[in-house]
Amino acid sequence: VIVARTRDELERAKRDLRGLGRLALVPTMGALHPGHDSLITLAREEAGAVAASIFVNPLQFGPTEDFTRYPRDESGDLTRLEALGAHLAFLPSTEEVYPGGAPRVTVHPGAMGERLCGAFRPGHFAGVLTVVAKLFGMFRPELSVFGQKDHQQAVLIRRMVEDLELGPITVRVAPTVREQDGLAMSSRNAYLSAEERRQAVGLHQSLQAARQGYVRGERAGARLLGLARVRLGEFPLLQLQYLELVHPETLQSVERAESGSVLAIAALCGRTRLIDNVVLP
């Protein structure tokens, strides 16, 4: 894997990879785990050259959030990317991405960025979309891959590409990769104490309770959310932020569940904020 840390190194690496064909970009914040692996693998299947960016983007963290203590594992990440057959790793410094400080012009996510996670993390999606727009500008990829684990993020990126005519760029979304017990993999799971880790599975279990209700034929959103809430009650360490049944593309709350509707949840597990979602079959 070619390692680039500056724009110049990135340009050189892109030139070296030109013969491989379509370029795919997988943006990440590092501390890579099997969830990230599946994005890289999907990119490898669909493009000739695969680049991963590893950048903990200060713009998407609130003032009281975990930017400084966010897990970082550069050498582990590079080993992983090498093993997966990624061609290029871009690990820029904050100054490289934001020369002269925070950008004066940023991407405004609109009302969809204020729902769900956006309601609890003001400015978060503006930070995400701004850095992804910059990465798209730097890489000019034909394909970019995101994870279903962050459903709202993937939807907003799709909308940004379409609404701001950033294409031609295909946005693909890879399924959520989970631990044995169902907990969605996340770099933030490393923060959890043993007891928190045991209860963290409550997010998945709540969603599963609602999903099972749906599979049994229940369609009333309030009833499905009730099933999830009852299950959540079995996990006293989980402090619910939101639990919603939404339309997969508009993220608007829906009253009746149908195939493709998304159940989304966010909760604090101790001090660690966890999210998960399930798409109804």
Residues that bind ligand AMP (CB under 6 A): 28-29, 35-36, 38-39, 146-147, 149-150, 174, 176-177, 184-187
Compute the distance between CA of residue 115 and CA of residue 31 in angstroms, rounded to an integer. 27
The catalytic residue among 36, 124, 151, 204 is 36
Output the smallest distance, CB 99 to ligand AMP, in A: 22
Output the smallest distance, CB 57 to ligand AMP, in A: 8
Q: Which of residues 88 and 224 has its CB atom nearest to ligand AMP in the complex?
A: 88
Q: Which of residues 176 and 199 has its CB atom nearest to ligand AMP in the complex?
A: 176
Residues 6+ apart with CB under 8 A from 101: none
Output the smallest distance, CB 197 to ligand AMP, in A: 15
Q: Where are the alpha helices (DSSP H) in 26-71?
A: 34-46
CA distances from 185 to 11, 190, 255, 270 (A): 32, 10, 29, 17
Compute the distance between CA of residue 274 and CA of residue 281 in angstroms, rounded to an integer. 23
Output the smallest distance, CB 176 to ligand AMP, in A: 4
Nearest residue to 133 (alpha-carbon basis) of 166, 155, 105, 100: 166
Q: Which of residues 112 and 229 has its CB atom nearest to ligand AMP in the complex?
A: 112
Residues 6+ apart with CB under 8 A from 230: 209
CB of 160 within 8 A of CB of 137? no
Decide if 151 is catalytic. no
Q: Which of residues 57 and 225 has its CB atom nearest to ligand AMP in the complex?
A: 57
Which residues form the catalytic set? 36
